[in-house]
């Protein structure tokens, strides 16, 4: 798909793949690589395209394997203008490069789909595989449970994201999160592939059956544990771990050598995202804790 960039570079090409079944059926849109350094969704689509599992028996799958091609080639989350593509929706022409790409997806691709999945990884932190959506909407939860991730996280819509723009256009688009940026995680990739196959089976796009389902936990509330001071941070738990109130989640050794001091969990739940050990500053995000109600 050609996109008028509004820049001196002229037009850009965005890869869009369409896989049609032999019978009529629903149309599923799957996007990956809105953030160019998030590799797990890109790899999941590459595998499915390579082995043919993305080809449905009925309906069609529209796949955008790398929405931010420049970011992918340059190991960058952003576009060359420094913009975040997933904050540029619903897009506009003329506008920034991110708005041009977002606008093209919204005008020329999304209207063809019945529902969609937007594949992401974590940033500096590792995300345990989960689906993000508004859990109060039955259509979202039907698709999320069909995907059957380890966790479904209730997540409010954020301005400028593809998910919110799609919602405003009357389309259910779920966000998959798994792994971290710039690294491939076999677990995150395989969970993504299996979830897409389960969605296709749920939509009756395939007749070959779906992978075994996970035990799915719905997390209605979550909160980030932040650093109280600067220092050397070291987590005590792995991503996805069960946490009890009062557990020590991590240690921070002060920049002056004082400590280490432990960070205790204020509630029971699960570690949905864990930042790796590193030097951190005050108020940095460390652990995303999905709390149990």
DSSP symbols for 63-118? EES-S-HHHHHTT-SS-TTS--GGGSTT--SSS-HHHHHHHHHHHHTGGG-SEEEE
pLDDT for res 8: 43
Residues of the chain with CATH 3.40.630.10: 2-217
Q: Which CATH class is domain 2-217?
A: alpha beta
pLDDT, mean of residues 88-113: 93
User: pTM score, two decimals?
Assistant: 0.94
Give yes or no for residue 2 having a pLDDT over 90.
no
Structure tokens at 78: 């952003």
Cβ count near 193 (within 10 Å): 19
pLDDT digits (tens, 9 = 90+) for 104-155: 999 999 999 999 999 999 988 999 999 999 999 999 999 999 999 999 999 9
pLDDT for res 7: 45
pLDDT digits (tens, 9 = 90+) for 6-18: 444 456 789 999 9
Provide the greatest CA pair distance for the chain: 67
pLDDT, mean of residues 177-186: 97
Q: How far is CA 256 from the centre of its chain?
A: 37
- Do the Cβ atoms of 237 and 271 come closer than 8 Å? yes
Mean pLDDT score of the chain = 94
User: Structurally, what CATH architecture does the domain formed by 221-291 represent?
Assistant: Beta Barrel (2.40)
Residues of the chain with CATH 2.40.50.100: 221-291
């Amino acid at each position: 798909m050609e996109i008028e960039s509004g820049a001196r570079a002229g037009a850009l090409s965005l890869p869009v793949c369409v896989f049609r079944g032999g019978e009529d059926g629903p149309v599923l849109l799957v996007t990956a690589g809105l953030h160019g350094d998030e590799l797990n969704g890109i790899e999941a689509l590459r595998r499915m395209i390579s082995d043919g599992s993305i080809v449905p028996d009925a309906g069609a799958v529209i796949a955008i394997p790398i929405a931010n091609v420049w970011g992918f080639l340059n190991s960058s989350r952003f576009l060359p203008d420094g913009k975040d593509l997933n904050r540029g929706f619903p897009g506009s022409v003329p506008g920034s490069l991110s708005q041009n790409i977002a606008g093209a997806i919204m005008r020329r691709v999304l209207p063809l789909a019945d529902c969609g999945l937007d594949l992401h990884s974590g940033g500096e932190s590792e995300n345990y595989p989960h689906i993000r959506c508004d859990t109060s909407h039955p259509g979202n939860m039907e698709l999320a449970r069909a995907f059957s991730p380890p966790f479904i996280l209730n997540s409010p819509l954020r301005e400028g994201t593809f998910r919110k723009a799609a919602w405003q256009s009357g389309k259910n688009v779920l966000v998959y999160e798994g792994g971290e940026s710039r690294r491939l995680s076999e677990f995150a990739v395989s969970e993504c592939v299996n979830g897409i196959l389960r969605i296709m089976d749920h939509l009756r796009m395939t007749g070959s059956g779906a992978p075994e389902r996970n035990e799915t936990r719905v997390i209605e509330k979550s909160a980030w544990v932040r650093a109280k001071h600067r220092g050397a941070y070291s987590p005590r738990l792995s991503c996805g771990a069960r946490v009890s109130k009062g557990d020590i989640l991590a240690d921070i050794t002060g920049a002056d050598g004082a400590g280490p001091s432990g960070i205790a969990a204020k509630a029971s739940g699960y570690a949905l995202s864990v930042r790796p050990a590193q030097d951190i500053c005050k108020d940095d995000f460390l652990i995303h804790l999905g709390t149990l109600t």
